[in-house]
């Protein structure tokens, strides 16, 4: 026989089954000569107490015990358990019940009760399937109408709530979980187009350090309200998002617009380091000034290319930069701007230096050194797209040609969109852009969104080879852009 002490007993989980299985025998009276003594071990509890080795199980980790307890069952097995629970006993005239069925098949009575409740579902599903994913909609009429509408209009939640009111469904909330399950049931998925930002130039760290040093020197004696940054933002009359919803498997994804995606104009934005915003400027692509009455809070300009040029830079500095609230003199203000051709010509510089000191951001460094690109432009364009989407779903604002084609928004409507989107940009979002420009610590802002497409798409975590390959695509920057082509 084998003797084990207390330390050796730690290798065995004697109490794992809840009952200590001991085979007591007295060596003097019950020893069977046919038994192999090595099959028994002395457990140290009593001089005559032994345990069969094959009745002692090794100690299991909590994960191993949980893994053994967790088990899935087929629909066939569940129905078998339900049948036993509902079977009427001949002697008592009562059903066996959930507890009896649980004991019979080694499951809990709670599981039996749930399976009895879902009996109809279990009968309808494949018998070898182990789970029902609840793919049947609770409101089939609503979802059929909504699926049809989503493929045309792509505004799921707002339209869903409207349909729910029409159908008299008061408890409908339209939350994110319902939206996810609706898309899954209807075979819809989010689709996206992609783009890649510019690569940084060679020795960019040295250039960034030199620019920051220059700005620190030039801004001495300059108040935050007089430290500014201006930038041009190209905008289209149609602004569909890069993401949309459509059926899985489709290769061509159509988006409802007015067909004016290539009809562009320019918005000129300017911000100050204290979180202030200058009056926005819009440049339309046309030869003559429109006759409409525009809001006073926006400056409207035109030229044949619809883009900023050296002459409009002079107008902008006089009508916008010099007209900002509590503006200081030329020696007490500093304006940072990128190296676009229209900013660095002799005519443009001469006009700007008469009103302010300037700091030109090195070519290819705007995503690191231009506050508008860092934290403001993306937020502004997002709010602007929201304005366009609201206009698209408001049929009262639409006009049509004789052929029935929808016209794009009027110039006055566009100016109102710009003003609303500009108001929605928060001062903290602007201040964080200037802090990042100077390499300072920033405070988190809910409204802040980088305008750098690579960060937005998560490309910084892609393999180096893929990022390098994507970097070979040429993306125009403000420095290279020279106006919109005629279409």
pLDDT (tens, 9 = 90+) of the chain, 487 residues, equals: 444 444 444 444 443 433 334 343 334 334 444 445 554 444 444 444 444 444 444 555 555 555 556 688 898 999 999 999 998 888 888 888 999 999 999 899 999 999 999 898 888 888 888 776 666 777 888 888 888 777 665 554 567 777 888 888 888 877 777 878 888 888 887 766 554 456 788 889 999 999 999 999 998 888 999 999 999 999 888 877 666 677 777 766 666 777 777 788 999 999 999 999 999 999 999 989 998 999 999 999 999 888 899 889 988 988 999 888 888 777 889 999 998 888 888 888 887 888 889 999 998 889 899 999 999 999 999 999 889 888 888 777 788 888 888 888 899 999 999 999 999 999 999 999 999 998 887 665 555 444 444 333 343 444 454 444 444 433 344 554 445 555 4
Q: Pick the closest to residue 371 from 444, 450, 317, 441 (CA basis).
A: 450
Q: Pick the closest to residue 391 from 370, 407, 374 (CA basis).
A: 407
Q: Pick the closest to residue 421 from 394, 445, 391 (CA basis).
A: 391
CA-CA-CA-CA dihedral for 251, 253, 254, 259, to nearest 10: -100
Q: Pick the closest to residue 320 from 270, 373, 266, 284 (CA basis).
A: 270
Edge-to-edge strands, sheet with 264-272: 299-303, 281-285, 264-272, 227-236, 334-337, 357-360
Q: Pick the closest to residue 300 from 255, 273, 332, 268 (CA basis).
A: 268
Q: Which helix (H) or strand (E) holds 246?
A: strand 243-247
What pLDDT shows up at residue 154? 54
Please give the model's pTM, rounded to 2 decimal places.
0.54
What pLDDT shows up at residue 192? 60
* Tokens 């053994």 belong to residue: 68
The beta strands (E) that lie in 363-449 are given as: none
CA distances from 49 to 4, 9, 145, 170, 235 (A): 12, 14, 75, 70, 89
What pLDDT shows up at residue 16? 40
Helix segments in 267-401, DSSP class H = 310-316, 341-344, 346-353, 366-369, 371, 377-393
Domains of the chain (ranges; CATH) run: 71-124 (1.10.10.60), 140-186 (no CATH), 204-249+260-397+408-460 (3.30.420.10)
Q: Are 137 and 164 in contact (CB under 8 A)?
A: no
What pLDDT shows up at residue 323? 86
CA distances from 179 to 132, 182, 192, 351 (A): 19, 5, 18, 54
Report the sign of the C-alpha dihedral through residues 410, 411, 417, 419, in that order: negative
Q: In angstroms, rounded to a whole number, what is the distance separating the alpha carbons of residues 181 and 121?
A: 18
What pLDDT shows up at residue 418? 94
Q: Pick the closest to residue 442 from 427, 455, 431 (CA basis).
A: 431
What pLDDT shows up at residue 60? 54
């Amino acid at each position: 026989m084998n003797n084990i002490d207390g330390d050796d007993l730690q290798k065995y989980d004697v109490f794992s089954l809840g009952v200590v299985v001991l085979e007591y025998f007295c060596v003097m009276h019950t020893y069977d000569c046919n038994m192999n003594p090595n099959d028994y071990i002395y457990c140290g509890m009593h001089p005559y107490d032994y345990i069969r080795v094959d009745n002692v199980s090794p100690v299991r980790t909590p994960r191993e015990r949980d893994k053994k307890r967790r088990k899935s069952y087929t629909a066939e097995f569940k129905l078998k358990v339900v049948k036993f629970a509902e079977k009427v006993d001949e002697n008592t005239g009562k059903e066996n019940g959930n507890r009896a069925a649980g004991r019979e098949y080694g499951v809990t009575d709670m599981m039996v009760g749930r399976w009895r409740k879902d009996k109809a579902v279990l009968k309808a599903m494949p018998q070898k399937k182990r789970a029902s994913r609840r793919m049947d909609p609770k409101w089939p009429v609503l979802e059929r109408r909504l699926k049809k509408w989503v493929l045309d209009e792509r505004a799921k939640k707002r339209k869903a709530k409207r349909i729910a009111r029409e159908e008299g469904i008061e408890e409908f909330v339209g939350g994110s979980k319902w939206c996810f399950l609706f898309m899954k049931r209807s075979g819809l998925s989010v689709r996206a187009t992609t783009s890649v930002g510019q690569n940084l130039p060679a020795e960019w760290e040295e250039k960034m350090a030199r620019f920051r040093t220059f700005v620190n020197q030039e801004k001495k004696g300059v108040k935050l309200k007089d430290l500014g940054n201006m930038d041009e933002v190209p905008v289209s009359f149609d602004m569909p998002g890069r993401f949309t919803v459509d059926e899985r498997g489709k290769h061509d994804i159509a988006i409802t617009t007015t067909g004016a995606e290539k009809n562009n104009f320019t918005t000129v934005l300017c911000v100050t380091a204290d979180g202030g915003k200058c009056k926005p400027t819009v440049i339309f692509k046309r030869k003559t000034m429109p006759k409409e009455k525009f809001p006073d809070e926006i400056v409207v300009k035109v030229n044949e290319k619809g883009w900023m040029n050296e002459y409009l830079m002079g107008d902008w500095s006089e009508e916008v930069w010099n007209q900002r609230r509590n503006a200081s003199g030329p020696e007490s203000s500093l304006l940072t701007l990128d190296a676009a051709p229209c900013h660095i010509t002799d005519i443009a510089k001469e006009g700007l230096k008469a009103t302010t000191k300037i700091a030109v951001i090195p070519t290819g460094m705007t995503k690191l050194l231009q506050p508008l690109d860092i934290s403001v432009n993306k937020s502004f364009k997002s709010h602007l797209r929201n304005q366009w989407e609201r206009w698209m779903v408001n049929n009262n604002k639409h006009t049509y040609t004789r052929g029935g084609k929808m016209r794009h928004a009027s110039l006055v409507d566009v100016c109102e969109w710009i003003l609303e989107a500009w108001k929605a940009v928060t001062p903290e979002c602007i201040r964080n852009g200037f802090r990042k420009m100077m390499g300072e610590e920033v405070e988190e802002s809910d409204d802040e969104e980088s305008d750098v497409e690579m960060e937005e798409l998560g490309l910084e975590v892609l393999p180096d080879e893929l990022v390098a390959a994507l970097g070979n695509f040429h993306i125009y920057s403000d420095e290279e852009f020279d106006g919109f082509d005629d279409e």
